[in-house]
Structures are given as structure tokens and as C-alpha cells.
Amino acid sequence: MYRYDLISCHDCGVLHRRRPLASRDKARCVRCRSVLYRGADPDLGRIAAITLGALMIFLIAQLTPIVRLEMNGNMSTSTLPGAVAIMWGQGMRVVSMCVALFTIVFPAIELGAVLYVALGLRAGRQPPGMHLLLRAVRKAREWGMTEVLMIGILIGLIKMTSMSKVVIQPGLLAFGALTLMMAVEASIDPRLLWNAADRLGAGQPLAPPERDALEHKKPMVACHACGLVLADAGQHGQRAQHCARCGCKLHRRKPDSVKRTWAYLIAAAILYIPANLLPVLNTDSLYGNKDDTIISGVVYFWDTGAPELAVIIFVASIVVPMLKLAALSLLAWTAQRRSHWRPMQRTVLYRMVEFIGRWSMLDIFVITVSVALVRFDAMAMMTPRPGALAFCAVVVLTMIAALEFDPRLIWDPIKDKNGVRHV
Ligand SMILES: [Zn+2]
Ligand SMILES: [Zn+2]
């Protein structure tokens, strides 16, 4: 038995033993039905090829203009980094930094690190810095938002067709292709690369402490980053135990998970009020000067004959943050009370919150694109307003709240069936 053959379920902690699968099969947790791993072992050459392709499209998307606006003989055009720079120049420094991180920096880290590690492993050696880079890939993927940006750009463009002529540029097509490539890239689990590194040479057999812990049902602990399951050395507190593979600090559950989730939730709930009351965007045009809040933006789309866009923005900006606050409060409250109530449904709820969290950034991306392109001095000018900062903060805080919550707390109070071991 190799050390990567032990798998602890990310959502409920049940310990499983890896078995070979057919290429299209999924292994699911016996208790909470989460997907543990998919298909056959990864083909490092294929991973490197996909990632290299994605990286090239990423560069084209970032460096070429997305769209050109024409208005009475004046022209305006921008790349994504250009749009971020304009937001920065308008005093929206925090918002522009968030946009840059979520759409430029994190996708770049994800693609660059996966390519570097896959090429190194393919050449038969562990590339230097591999553990740090794969940990960065996990974090970068939690925060990368290429697909949300793509929809944000499209909505921004539809909005602008009402005031000027819109000419599509290569950058927009590249972003479309990049969105598809990033979806393929997301199917490459960094843990596969850690396992591939383990397989180099003679493979890494299960170490004596882990064999002992398995046999005698002693406590075990799973690494948050690379997924390796180790014998619990019982050193929590002063001297932390570190993962034998990636060097990450180990803990049985995320420390102070419920308390921290509450803290971020309360901060997000407070900021949710100014985020909806303060204007997020100012439009100065020949028709006058007006401030828009999120909700008046929705009304604008509804009135101008684009009800489907009004619904998309309403759901992403108003409904999703509210549902997220409610769902995470429910999860934190039931975990705190060690409730036995519907653990399966609560796990599904958590997975949904994790999945939809990033979509609330949609309106921020629409604002970024609008501000960068609608710059026709006397005729039409759009500038961001303070509401955008509050709104961006709500999205980031609820995402952190979801990440701080440890879904295994849902299952901890539930009595195990015979023979099921958890970590
Ligand atoms: Zn599970
Ligand atoms: Zn680890």
C-alpha cells in the first residue's frame, strides 16, 4: 500500500482506500457522496499541453484590446490591465487591486505553476519549490474568476451598445477561449500532481506510524493542502505537526472555524447595507448626470428592454449575497450547536455556497469595463462610486467566511455506522 492510497473525504472526513478506476468513473464518499477522485492517473504530457495552450491564450487575452467604442468620431479602447489601471486612477484602489488579483494574477499563478510542475515531473524529477507552488495553485483556484469576468464583459458591452457603436476586438475572443480552457484546467486537481510526484522512482510506501495508526485505530489527521493522511502525533498547541509531504501545518479541523466564520459573516452583513444603498457608478452624459446603485442598474436594464440581463444582475448581486449570508449563518449555527439535523443536505448547501460565491463579483466587473471604455470627455463619462468598494468587500468577506467554515464540523456529531473510520 502506498501513502497516497489513503484518502480522507474533504467534506465529512471519512477515511477511504484508493482503488483503480476506469477513466470516466468517479469515486464518491460512502457517507456524504462527495467526489473523492476521478478517473485514471493523470497524463503529465496532456496536463502540460493543455496548460501551455491556456497560458498562450491568457497572454493574448491580457495584451490585446477587448473592444472598441466609437461615438461621434471619437474612439475608446482598452485591455484588461488598462481597465484596472483606469480604476486605480479613479481612486478605487482596493477594488482595482481585487479585479487585478482575481482576473490577472491568480489565473497567471495557476497556469504558470501547473505548467512548471507538470513539465518537471514529466522529466522524472521533483522540480524545486513544487510544494509551495502547488499550495499556491489551490489558493489561486479558489479566487480565480475568469468565467465571471467573461460574463461581466459581455453584460458591460450590451449596456454600451445603447450609447455608442461597439466593435469587437481580438481580446474578447481570446477571453471566450480562455474561459473554456480554464474550465478544463479546473479539472486538474493539484493532489494528482502530488501523487504523481510520490510515484516517481519506487513510489512512497505507507510509513510505519501510519500503518500502526491504521491497524490500531489510533487518531489520524489529513493535510488540508495535499490530502496526505498521517498518524496524529498529538502535538497540537505549542508544537504544531507538519505534513510529511508538503510541509503544511496540520490540524484536525480548521482552527476556530465557527468563530471566524461568524466574524466574517457579521462584517459582510454590516457592509451589505451601504453596498446596496450607496451609488456604485456615476454616468455623466449629454442627457445629464446620474448616480446608479446596484438596484437602479437592474431597473435600467429592465426598462431598456433587456429583462434577462436585469434578472442575471439581480440574482448575482442581490440574491446570491443574501442567500450566502443566510446559508452560512445556518451552517455556522447548526455546527455550533452540534446539530444532527440533515447533515447530507447541509453538506450540499455548503458545496453550493462555495460554488456560487464568486459570481457576486459580476457587477464589479461590469463597472470596471464600463469605466474603462466610456471615456468621451464632454459627451459621456462613467466613474466608479464608493458603493462599489462596499460591494466588493461584501463579496470578498463572504468568500472568506465560506473558506473558513470546515464542512467536516457538520458530520462530527453524527454517530458512525459500523466500520466507518474518519479523520
Ligand atoms: Zn464524505
Ligand atoms: Zn500536505
Closest ligand to Cα 251 = 2
d(CA 147, ligand 2 centre) in Å: 29
Which pLDDT tens digit goes with each residue over 325-362?
999 999 999 999 999 999 999 999 999 999 998 999 99
Output the pLDDT for position 345.
Answer: 96
d(CA 347, ligand 1 centre) in Å: 9
Q: Angle of helix 146-160 relative to helix 307-314, nearest 10 degrees? A: 140
Output the pLDDT for position 22.
Answer: 85
d(CA 348, ligand 1 centre) in Å: 11
Output the pLDDT for position 383.
Answer: 94
d(CA 138, ligand 2 centre) in Å: 12
For residues 206 and 85, the model is more confident at 85
Closest ligand to Cα 247 = 2
Model-level pTM? Answer: 0.93
Output the pLDDT for position 113.
Answer: 98
Over range 95-107, report the average pLDDT. 98
Secondary structure (H, E, C), the chain: CEHHHEEECCCCCEEEECCCCCCCCEEECCCCCCEEEECCCCCHHHHHHHHHHHHHHHHHHHHCCCEEEEECCEEEEECHHHHHHHHHHCCCHHHHHHHHHHHHHHHHHHHHHHHHHHHHHHCCCCCCCHHHHHHHHHHHHHHCCHHHHHHHHHHHHHHHCCCCEEEECHHHHHHHHHHHHHHHHCCCCHHHHHHHHHHCCCCCECCHHHHHHHHCCCCEEECCCCCCEEECCCCCCCCCCECCCCCCECCCCCCCHHHHHHHHHHHHHHHHHHHHHCCCEEEEECCEEEEECHHHHHHHHHHCCCHHHHHHHHHHHHHHHHHHHHHHHHHHHHHHCCCCCCHHHHHHHHHHHHHHHHHHHHHHHHHHHHHHHCEECCCEEEEECCHHHHHHHHHHHHHHHHHHCCCHHHHCCCCCCCCCCEC
d(CA 140, ligand 2 centre) in Å: 17
pLDDT band, residue 96 (cuts 50/70/90) = very high
d(CA 17, ligand 1 centre) in Å: 13
For residues 190 and 56, the model is more confident at 56
Does 236 have pLDDT greater than 60? no
d(CA 418, ligand 1 centre) in Å: 15
Which pLDDT tens digit goes with each residue over 32-90?
999 998 876 678 999 999 999 999 999 999 999 999 999 888 999 999 999 999 999 99
Closest ligand to Cα 8 = 1
Over range 398-409, report the average pLDDT. 96
d(CA 43, ligand 2 centre) in Å: 22
Over range 389-405, report the average pLDDT. 96
Q: Which residues pair with 69 in a beta bridge?
A: 76, 166
Closest ligand to Cα 250 = 2
Closest ligand to Cα 36 = 1
d(CA 80, ligand 2 centre) in Å: 35
Output the pLDDT for position 419.
Answer: 67
For residues 234 and 271, the model is more confident at 271
d(CA 230, ligand 2 centre) in Å: 9
Could you tell me what percent of the chain has a pLDDT over 70? 98
Closest ligand to Cα 344 = 1
Grid cell locating 420 = 466507518
pLDDT band, residue 235 (cuts 50/70/90) = low
Rounded Cα distance between 138 and 226, Å, is: 9
d(CA 309, ligand 1 centre) in Å: 37
Closest ligand to Cα 12 = 1
d(CA 142, ligand 1 centre) in Å: 20
d(CA 358, ligand 1 centre) in Å: 24
**CATH fold of 252-423, please?**
Butyryl-CoA Dehydrogenase, subunit A; domain 3 (1.20.140)
